[in-house]
Structure 1
Amino acid sequence: MISSRWRSESTSSPTSSMMNAPLFHAGNVTTPPAFWVHKATLDYSMNTSTIHPCAFPRRTFVMAEAPSASPKPHDNQQTSTQQNSPEAANEAKVFQPQLPIGRKVLLIEDSESFALVLKSQIETNYGYTTTIAGTLKECKEILVERAEEFFIAVVDLHLPDALEGEALDLVLDYDIATIVYTGKFSDALREDILNKGITDYVLKTGRHGIEYVPSLVNRIYLNFSTKVLVVDDSRIARRAMCRLLKTQRFLVLQASSGPEALEILKDNPDIRIALLDCYMEPMDGFSLASNIRQTHSKEELSIIGVSSQGSQALSAKFIKSGANDFLVKPFMSEEFNCRINQSANFVDQFHALRKSNELKNAWLGIAAHDIRGPLGIIQSVSELLLKKDLAPGRRNQIYEMINENSVHMLDLLNNLLEISAIESGKFTIKKSTHNLTDLINQRVTLYDNLAEEKDQHLVCHLDDCPSFSFDAVRVSQALDNLITNAIKYSPKNAKVTIQLKVKERSVDINVLDQGPGVNKDEVSLLFGTFQRTSNETTGGEKSTGLGLAICKSIIEGHGGSVNYKPNPDETGSCFTLTLPTEE
């Protein structure tokens, strides 16, 4: 079954924010705008000599007619013939890449050692699941069963049972973004595979190629949700740019004039890149760039000027008007794609840094609030100790309050240091051989007294686990967090169960409590920094909102995972730490 990757969304769809305003004017309509959805299997063709038919194979589109607006001043710039032509009507469709089911990469490579190195780079650096196919036959079997799971394929042109690039044609037939990774190359071969509509090609030469492919894989995944606006009064020029952008899986919006582009930007503030033609009516590219810069900085939105009249003076004028870059038509596809992806990386880095800064400020605000409370209590009660003669019993209560709040502050500061180490990359896992069953028994014994204070019972059901390599200090820290949380949120006379289940290549540590459980809408908050659910502790215990985030980092640092589900036996929660037992 051929998988669909490109679709157009109805303006009435709640997920289609870019369609809130009329993106394309296909003529003045006196009747109310009609909305319709139609599915059809089409043979998509650009009818150009520069693209192979395989570049856009059979696809299923959902097509929606864009709403017609009241006549605008710039609508009259198009002739009646242009407005009513079939080509103009076709411009009323917005195409959006449809994200595949999972974050999976298909790696088609006959060299096992080379494939394993590349797989390791992709999975370690970016977290994508990678499936290897060493032959054309294996590739066919995988695609027939689950082609829709893969958002991209990395393809070697020469396989033992496919010496003429048949694997490439097979992947393109399923409309999967494709990177050709090969050691043998020529100008004729380069032209041939680019004309087929591949995403890019990389040569197997040295370390850079091995590093570049995973970064490009990641870029393409991000492109599925990255909006690019193409502004050009030439339909042919817009079509050429859109064709190239679609090979990179960008979400593409189009405008035929400056005023129309400003309307689209107003409705789509998350547009990341804008390609502006130089000479348009009634607003040229220079004026449009200046207008955009009034609301979007160079770091927030990258503007790339384009013109067929390339000159150093024109390029400089565009950049002084607010553009980040400039390209001369006609484009060399590789240069165009590299520059666009580079711009996307630049803008993404800015937004990631801004988000990180906002998160840091939020952390500081929450930390200051959480530290101020205990400090205020300590200051208040210490003044009582200094100013009044207190009965021994009251004095002891104050000592306990000071101690309790000091412990909470120290706990918070230690957690802040842990989070800081994690965020700065200084968080380390030091593995050595230990017995996990013994470790769990030690931690449970440590918290027996804490549970007894609330008349709770800690119960262990532990499989006999052979010794394996892990960081005992860090795993103890993660386990302590889950046990103390279970005690905090469980009522009096409750049972907290700790299970150890040994699997073939991993172990599961389950901590089950009899507390209120977690609301479905709040599950996503569990492992975030300074995130708290609406549940209250049953004994007035303090919580920093950092413990589960640290726990997650520790276990993922071992190559494992942390998961939550409701307690399957009764009310409450079940947290599971999964640790691999093999390197």
Structure 2
Amino acid sequence: MHKVLVVEDSRFFTQIIRRGIEGRLGYHMLCAASAAEARIILAEHGDSILIALLDLHLPDAANGEIIDVVAPYKIPSVVFTGSFSDELREFVLSKHAVDYITKDGPGNFDLVLDLVQRISRNQHTTILVVDDSRVSRHYIHDLLTLHRFTVLQASCGDEALALCEAHPEINLAIVDYNMPGMNGVELCRKIRSKRSRHDLVIIGVSAYGNNVVSAQFMKSGANDYLNKPFVPEEFFCRLYQNLDQIERIGALQKADIQLRDIAAKAQAANDAKTSVITHLSHELCSPLNAVMGFAQLLTSPHSPLAERELAMVGNILQAGKMMHGLITDILDIARIESGHITLEEMPVCLPTLAAEIIEMMGPAAGDQGVRLHAHHQTEAMKVYGDARRLRQVLVNLLTNAIKFTPPGGDVHVAIGVDPHTRPTLEIRDTGCGMDAAGIVTALQPFGQVGSVRDRAKGLGLGLPLAKSLVELHQGDLMVNSQPGQGTTITVTLPAERLLRQGQGPA
């Protein structure tokens, strides 16, 4: 577990820091209220402390001496105090503190936690410094190691390329321009031929640089550029900004790979589910078809059965048809979810299709005491679609409307064209209706609303299946309902599916 040394004489501020360091980050916090206490802690834990957060003004170190107390242990120090001036900033940075933060600034405490996490990540970040000047390399090396980076050094381009080849873990390269043999721009170009901007950051530097050198570096693939001598504060701002960017990109790429893997597994599971359901449907339909076939034979005009027995066989046949419909709905839902369903498109006359279905369902509606009404703008409106699937949509929506409408109620079917020349189908009932939460439930596969008696009449697949089939036609299905005021379902198909007389799709 990471250890963070906090030297602060304010108990209130110490508690605030503790909540962040231990509560949010999960790190172990070592506390000292004075320079003397800090010396004791450093003597015991100095080699294992990740970072030190130091109050600039302590009872026994009123002028920032605490920075000098920590410095021999090579621990990155962040100084915080009540206010800062330019003179105080220069003083703190001259002591090689890695940063300074005011206590009362908005969001500054979050900046402290971000910096602690940044220093922790630096331990796993490797930086290559390429410069023919030994003095420059050592200067940059010391700056970077103070921030916990792992640093590799190269004195020329060839040595740098060899290190890049041997150490793919290098995250950032600081490349000097003016070097014997291969200059920094050429080196940058060669590194870029193997590592992208989003994989490895290159920061060009030069003591003789100008706008032209900067442009050459950037055109050769550098992420950033600095003139020597640079101010350490600016150097680390640029460095951290670039590292944060490639880390975000890396995290997004990793998340994308994970999402693709999850999607592939989900698709495989969906395919397996569809395969099982298809096989199961076949196994269920085979004996069911035999039962229905025999039931139809027994109800033929020449049947020897008595009237009471014929009624019983009729119930068997009706139950078989209902079960067959449920099996078909389950199979279609599985096919749609796995993307294994396609449309067989042709011209379809919606009013004619609706009339056929209304006639077919009229007896069932009459048995329940529900009246069916048809309202069509034209009796010859045709759309380009899958007749079988559009029939399923109408049957499922009408079945639901009849099921949830009490005796004496009405169900209206209207077909027309909206002001945007889109074909529309509206089914409106005077049933029990449902609230917003009920609509959400009803649109989910196996989601059921209404009374227990109503729920027993189906599996909750009719509406979601109809919605999916409409969406396969690039259309929309909207539900408008309120408890006690009935339900209106509007299906809208794209204008391109409306057929003009004597033409193909619009």
**TM-score, structure 2 length as denominator?**
0.54
Are 1:317 and 2:216 matched, yes or no? yes
3-state SS of the aligned residue for 1:296?
coil
In 2: Cα distance, 1:296 partner to 1:126 partner: 33
Instruction: Give the match for residue 99 of structure 2.
Output: 200
From the superposition, tell whether residues 109 and 236 of structure 1 become closer, same or farther in structure 2 (CA, over 3 Å). same
How far did 1:357 drift? Answer: 1.1
Are 1:385 and 2:315 matched, yes or no? no
Q: Which of 181-190 and 217-226 deviates more?
A: 181-190
- Out of 248, 263, 266, the position equivalent to 1:367 is 266
In 2: Cα distance, 1:124 partner to 1:322 partner: 41
- Out of 142, 151, 166, the position equivalent to 1:243 is 142
How far did 1:389 drift? Answer: 5.3
Instruction: Give the match for residue 441 of structure 1.
Output: none
3-state SS of the aligned residue for 1:206?
coil
Instruction: Give the match for residue 163 of structure 2.
Output: 264
In 2: Cα distance, 1:385 partner to 1:184 partner: 79
Q: Which of 233-242 and 167-176 deviates more?
A: 167-176
2:172 touches 2:202 (CA, 8 Å); kept in 1? yes
Matches within 5 A, 1:499-578: none
How far did 1:319 drift? Answer: 0.6
In 2: Cα distance, 1:278 partner to 1:145 partner: 44
In 2: Cα distance, 1:315 partner to 1:202 partner: 31
Are 1:279 and 2:178 matched, yes or no? yes
How far did 1:294 drift? Answer: 1.2
How far did 1:121 drift? Answer: 3.3
3-state SS of the aligned residue for 1:207?
coil
2:126 touches 2:172 (CA, 8 Å); kept in 1? yes
From the superposition, tell whether residues 150 and 391 of structure 1 become closer, same or farther in structure 2 (CA, over 3 Å). farther
From the superposition, tell whether residues 224 and 115 of structure 1 become closer, same or farther in structure 2 (CA, over 3 Å). same
Matches within 5 A, 1:269-348: 269-348=168-247
Instruction: Give the match for residue 250 of structure 2.
Output: 351
Matches within 5 A, 1:177-196: 177-196=76-95
- Out of 144, 153, 173, the position equivalent to 2:52 is 153
Over residues 530-580 of structure 1, what are the superposed CA-to-partner deviations in whole Å (9 max), with x where a residue is unaligned? xxxxxxxxxxxxxxxxxxxxxxxxxxxxxxxxxxxxxxxxxxxxxxxxxxx
How far did 1:188 drift? Answer: 4.6
2:122 touches 2:148 (CA, 8 Å); kept in 1? yes
Percent identity (aligned): 40
Over residues 12-49 of structure 1, what are the superposed CA-to-partner deviations in whole Å (9 max), with x where a residue is unaligned? xxxxxxxxxxxxxxxxxxxxxxxxxxxxxxxxxxxxxx
**Structure 1: where are the runs of 5+ without partners?**
1-101, 393-398, 414-583
How far did 1:199 drift? Answer: 1.9
3-state SS of the aligned residue for 1:164?
coil
3-state SS of the aligned residue for 1:253?
strand
AA aligned opposite 1:251: T
In 2: Cα distance, 1:127 partner to 1:251 partner: 24
How far did 1:139 drift? Answer: 2.4
In 1: Cα distance, 2:35 partner to 2:134 partner: 40
Over residues 440-461 of structure 1, what are the superposed CA-to-partner deviations in whole Å (9 max), with x where a residue is unaligned? xxxxxxxxxxxxxxxxxxxxxx
The number of equivalent residue pairs is: 298
In 1: Cα distance, 2:276 partner to 2:52 partner: 60
In 2: Cα distance, 1:282 partner to 1:326 partner: 21
In 2: Cα distance, 1:190 partner to 1:281 partner: 38
How far did 1:263 drift? Answer: 1.0
How far did 1:192 drift? Answer: 3.9
In 1: Cα distance, 2:117 partner to 2:200 partner: 20
Instruction: Give the match for residue 38 of structure 2.
Output: 139
Over residues 417-440 of structure 1, what are the superposed CA-to-partner deviations in whole Å (9 max), with x where a residue is unaligned? xxxxxxxxxxxxxxxxxxxxxxxx
In 2: Cα distance, 1:391 partner to 1:108 partner: 85
Over residues 144-188 of structure 1, what are the superposed CA-to-partner deviations in whole Å (9 max), with x where a residue is unaligned? 333344211110121123223333222223322211112254445
Instruction: Give the match for residue 53 of structure 1.
Output: none
From the superposition, tell whether residues 228 and 385 of structure 1 become closer, same or farther in structure 2 (CA, over 3 Å). same
How far did 1:251 drift? Answer: 0.7
In 1: Cα distance, 2:25 partner to 2:193 partner: 35
Are 1:162 and 2:61 matched, yes or no? yes
2:74 touches 2:146 (CA, 8 Å); kept in 1? no
1:232 touches 1:277 (CA, 8 Å); kept in 2? yes
3-state SS of the aligned residue for 2:124?
coil
In 2: Cα distance, 1:104 partner to 1:391 partner: 75
**Structure 2: where are the runs of 5+ without partners?**
292-322, 338-506
AA aligned opposite 1:320: K
In 2: Cα distance, 1:103 partner to 1:238 partner: 29
In 2: Cα distance, 1:226 partner to 1:280 partner: 25
Over residues 250-275 of structure 1, what are the superposed CA-to-partner deviations in whole Å (9 max), with x where a residue is unaligned? 11011111111111111111211111
3-state SS of the aligned residue for 1:161?
coil
Are 1:114 and 2:22 matched, yes or no? no
Higher RCO (C-alpha under 8 Å, 6+ residues apart): 1
From the superposition, tell whether residues 241 and 149 of structure 1 become closer, same or farther in structure 2 (CA, over 3 Å). closer
How far did 1:125 drift? Answer: 4.6
In 1: Cα distance, 2:39 partner to 2:187 partner: 49
**TM-score, structure 1 length as denominator?**
0.48
Q: Which of 109-118 and 218-227 deviates more?
A: 109-118
2:202 touches 2:222 (CA, 8 Å); kept in 1? yes
1:244 touches 1:337 (CA, 8 Å); kept in 2? no
In 2: Cα distance, 1:148 partner to 1:278 partner: 37
3-state SS of the aligned residue for 2:272?
helix
In 2: Cα distance, 1:126 partner to 1:348 partner: 19
Instruction: Give the match for residue 305 of structure 2.
Output: none
1:136 touches 1:159 (CA, 8 Å); kept in 2? yes
How far did 1:123 drift? Answer: 4.2
How far did 1:222 drift? Answer: 0.6
Over residues 194-252 of structure 1, what are the superposed CA-to-partner deviations in whole Å (9 max), with x where a residue is unaligned? 33332222233411322211111111111111011111111122112112112211110
